[in-house]
Amino acid sequence: MSIKYEQILEAAYKLFAENGFEKTSLSMIAKEVGVTKPAIYYYFSSKEELIKELFKVIVKEINFSKFFSICKYSKENFETQLIHDGIRMIQVQKKDVYYSKILNEYVVLSMREEKYGDWLQEILQDYLEGFIEILHFGVELGVLKNEKIEAKAQLLTLVVEGLDKYVGSSFNLHVEEIWSLTVKSIL
């Protein structure tokens, strides 16, 4: 991927988050990058393609396995590792002032375009399956009873989804404490 391609994606990320998809034009993105509007068309055939490609990049950045790795878990550290991984994910999202705004743009877009709703559901499904796998591993390690594993994984997934909506917002949640309490409550 070229530097200009990356710069276009970064500018689009920022401007879409700040102004929304509707109010951000390719001309605005071109100006931010310091290129002409036709230069953007060299990389993306339309604004819709740029929005779709940006979504794919964001999905890679928020992938479950980027934050939670089962190989780091042991009988001795299971609870602290699960808390640590979730807090690390939250801290990465908090550092990005555009994260919750752009995610909300995709949620709104999913109301108009079903494919985005399907893709957002796939992200949640990935988190659910990841948490199920980690919790089953906790059962194997003997740190967790083999009871209501799927419901516990659903709770973790719902908390992640809920925190996603408010990380970086003016709504002052104690997100690290919420995550920690949630993990402790299921163990």
DSSP per-residue string spanning 148-169 = SHHHHHHHHHHHHHHHHHHTTS
Residue 163 pLDDT level (bands cut at 50, 70, 90): confident
Determine what percent of the chain is predicted with pLDDT higher than 90: 89
Please determine, for residue 174, whether its predicted confidence score (pLDDT) is greater than 80. Answer: yes
Cβ contact 12:54 at 8 Å: yes
Break the chain into its structural domains and give their ranges.
3-52, 62-186
pTM given for the model:
0.91
How many of the other CB atoms lie within 10 Å of CB of 183?
Answer: 23
Contacts of 151 (CB under 8 A, 6+ apart): none
pLDDT surpassing 80 at residue 150: yes
Confidence (pLDDT) at 94: 86
Query: Looking at the domain that runs over 3-52, which CATH code has it been given?
Result: 1.10.10.60
pLDDT at 1 over 70: no
Instruction: State the chain's mean pLDDT as an integer.
Output: 94
Say whether pLDDT at 5 is over 70: yes
Q: What is the spatial distance between Cα 67 and Cα 163, in angstroms, rounded to a whole number?
A: 15
Identify the band that residue 129 occupies on the pLDDT scale cut at 50, 70 and 90: very high
Task: Extract the tokens encoding 10.
Answer: 């970064």
Identify the sign of the CA torsion 115, 127, 175, 185: positive
* Residue 173 pLDDT > 90: no
> What's residue 110's pLDDT?
96
Distance CA 40, CA 44 (A): 6
Confidence of residue 171 (pLDDT cuts 50, 70, 90): confident
Q: Which stretches of the chain are assigned E, i.e. beta strand?
A: none
Domain 62-186 has CATH 1.10.287: no
Asked if residues 100 and 175 have their Cβ atoms less than 8 Å apart, the reply is no
167, pLDDT greater than 80: no
